[in-house]
Structure 1
């Protein structure tokens, strides 16, 4: 057999597999976090080959002092999850995980980052094919762009002092979303201290948890807490959580935590020693786009009907919105989340959308019931003097 015949025979047995592997990261190119904050990153990986191939995806961290990137965690070609060298303890403790979301998204989750986690995070995908002898051969690989993550160190306070940190739900938030305002206290020998925590919005008191565990809601927030629309709890020695289960536009504003260190007197009351304030954080809440669009359409339609003349009494029902009109003016509007009632007839060319009527409970979802801590004081006289 000639050399030409051998070459033709080899060509007839070989099949070239096109490289259709794609890997991308579309998130923010950088993030700034503090120690203890959660980190979540996603990359998209896909292949359009007609061959029966498998994919493995690995998240890497290239720290400032790393000569080469370190693999954090891998979802292997056999769908097993493997932590990288040096990340095994974090994986076993649940501080590092990786999920495959739908067909193409690979999500890295680190609920409490540390200073050592600072650096550039990126994703690498490898496409594999299995040979007849059941061994695996790599046929393609792709690497995504990186996200540079800065992690600020929380400096431990000096003996006898403490610091306060506030963290609010990241936006954008819409009406009806859950809003969490978390206050964290950092102090040495924390279990030996007593603290009272007050949440403020625009420098007005919202809720207060005393050193004895007594919860106090202020002003209109009392009704919302009684209706299970919001709650405040001490979740650990260091963390205090205010949850508004169905946020309203009126809940937007600038939030702060005021924390007092207190000493317990012999009679069981508490005396204030020193105070710390958290840095303020602004929360923005917008109306749901679908509701805004429907109400705008209703306004335009009603104005057109006004211009063409309407009977003295008229009931209008469209898009699950009821409008009662008397003498060519809007007297009442009712939507699934709004009840508007005016004492006097309104303008015949305007539809004013206010928030909830005072005689109607909001139909938002309620907070889950939380038991008060055992032994918590119920006498307001036990609060700080």
Structure 2
């Protein structure tokens, strides 16, 4: 073999201007482990002839006197010598072609007797015998010493995870131990994987199996999360960690910790340990690996166990001003889940009205209210005991009537603004009815008597209100304007009188006023009226009553007047503009006509003169 290589090299030196054949193998020596695959790439370049080159592999065993043993050939099925014949026939030893001039020798399960110098030889297709027709690399076969074993964590006292069940949100800790004894400097990588608990689209692509990686310690000792978004985000938030610890002797202990499990974590778990070596060209090569099935974990979703109830149940009828207490009980959550909760009180209006969120308690216990519908100081929302939250009205009003429900959202893991609840559930509804005294109200609006309205005058509109009931009442009223007769939904609120006597002007104009000339009559005045003030006007009235504690509440009794039309007549000065506009228009028309006629005649005469010339 040596003489052949020397002759080829000398010939190539003598013919430097001619392209020389060159066969290439990875630099050696290479170290591989018995029982695991060997893959040797071999390529040829600088050749003549067919682009599909043939390859033959020989083994020079240590202590065999330098005699080659034919292993396999791409052109001769009868090429293998006896030691390789059955292995080639079974496909354990084979050649895989990457391209026409590059192949790969694959030994599926390396044996100790495969140690030695491997030669890749390419039969000549060249016009002249020039260059390197073969290349060699030394392969050393090491014994398999990789050991992987299951170690029960503090959570799991048994030797396997079979039948283990955890509630959603609980912590999961898995461990496995690994060791290897090698005279060569090798590294271990450890990967925790799972199968099940997720649809096929989430499985790692291109792996040829349905395992998805959770987290790994790579051969360079860096920690790498699985490619799935499920694990990458949790790793970034410290929701998943992997630590390496000493376990005594030659063993290292690898501990996977999932801070809070989710339903997608349901399934079988595996620990994969691989042995790596850095080849002479500087690349890491996997030389051995073992996968240990740790067992199965069943995750019980919170949505399957969560229960939310409200007391009292059914229908409750109370007099106005009575205290009201509603209690929300939450159960079915394991303490090991360590969840955090968002709790809301919802109210639907009587007769199926719009549902509103009255109050909510955040996971940190902070309560926020919808201030436009909740009276400050007259209602509270408190945690009375573990799993029990109470909404209290110290003095109920008619506006408090409706269907009440307690809505609970359970979150697991670290809080984030985009997090989706692990479970949502509403309680049964309790219908609160409040007994009110009978109230009848009527509103009648009209224009006050006076001269014909013209621009600059004062528009005076009266709203007469009559209320029939028992006890003290207050009126809350507002004036509305409709300047578009075709669209009565385009209303404008001009002024509002609240039940506490305060007035709120919604218009920026300073020439609008509201007063009460006599009891039960509310007058709207628009001073220095403009033409755009004409249109339709209406007053709307709501009655407020007083409860037994002296607090005011909206009785719900209301009325609105019919529409009042306001029309502005023109002043005498406005009428003078009509003849002026007509005269100016006529003069402009006559002037334009004369100019056009003169211009036309002039141009015609000019054209005739030009024609005679």
> TM-score range, shorter-chain basis?
0.3 to 0.5
Bigger relative CO (Cα 8 Å, ≥ 6 apart): 1
TM-score, length-normalised on structure 1?
0.45
| Max Rg structure | 2
TM-score, length-normalised on structure 2?
0.29
